[in-house]
Amino acid sequence: MIMIKIIGIEEPIMHRQGEIYQIEINNQIFFRKLYYDAIEENPDIFIYSEDYKIKEYTKNNIFIFNLMQINPNERKLLTAIYKKLALSLNDQMKNDINDLNVKLISIIDELSFNLDLTTTFNTSIDITKLLSMCDFMFEVEGTNLISLFITYLKACLELKNIKFIISFDILKHFSNDEIILLKKELDILNICLIDLKNNSIIEQNLFNKIVIDSDLCQY
């Protein structure tokens, strides 16, 4: 049994793969506190347990603060993927890299000789650096938001065994069909999403409110 307990919220949340919970919080101060505690990864606020044994939640959970800023091509994510790819090389690939390594050393030797100066260089190719040199990364140009989010989650799974995503009011960015798709992907990935939403009521006479009907939106 896997669950997460958020201090200040009475009921613990059970891990059910593919499940999406949205928790509406009416108290602005409490919502801001949770937000800042999440940024600081405060272990006293978010308590993760497996079979009633408390574990370090940062190893199995990620926070999403701003959906518009997620990037599956973050360096730490790509580095983890490069390392995984390096481990998956077959013998033929390794031989090809060795051949490439010999050719590169020959070229660098000749360049060094032309300089007529004492030089030094690395004589072996690091596959992770090779992938980086080739700008090996996820294609995100023109990707819609839900696809980008799913790609980001799959990239994060290369870093840690994610069980929970704790997000802050991101569901508003998705259509009903996109949320259905997200639930299916979360189910496949064995992940549960908890979306915290600030639902406090602000007096409308404090600002000018303009509502744009759907049929007036151009997109």
User: pLDDT tens digits, the chain, 219 residues: what are they?
Assistant: 888 888 888 888 888 889 999 999 888 899 999 999 999 888 788 888 888 888 888 888 899 999 989 999 898 888 888 888 888 878 888 888 888 888 888 888 888 778 777 777 777 777 777 777 778 888 887 679 999 999 999 999 988 889 999 999 999 999 999 999 999 999 999 999 999 998 876 666 667 766 677 666 665
Q: How many CB atoms lie within 10 A of CB 156?
A: 21
DSSP letter for 10, please: S
Q: Give residue 103's pLDDT.
A: 86
Going through the chain in order, the beta strands assigned E by DSSP cover 2-6, 13-14, 20-25, 46-50, 53-55, 61-64, 164-168, 192-198
Give strand pairing partners of 21.
194
Using N-to-C axis directions, what is the helix angle for 75-87 and 145-156, rounded to 10°? 60
- As a whole number of angstroms, the distance between CA 20 and CA 177 comes to 14
Neighbours of 181 (CB within 10 A): 15
Token pair 């409490």 is found at: 30
Residue tagged 């593919």 (tokens): 18
| pLDDT given for residue 21 in this prediction | 93
Q: What pLDDT, on the 0 to 100 scale, is given for residue 5?
A: 87
User: CB of 57 within 8 A of CB of 46?
Assistant: yes
Name the DSSP letter for residue 62.
E
**The residue type at 31:** F
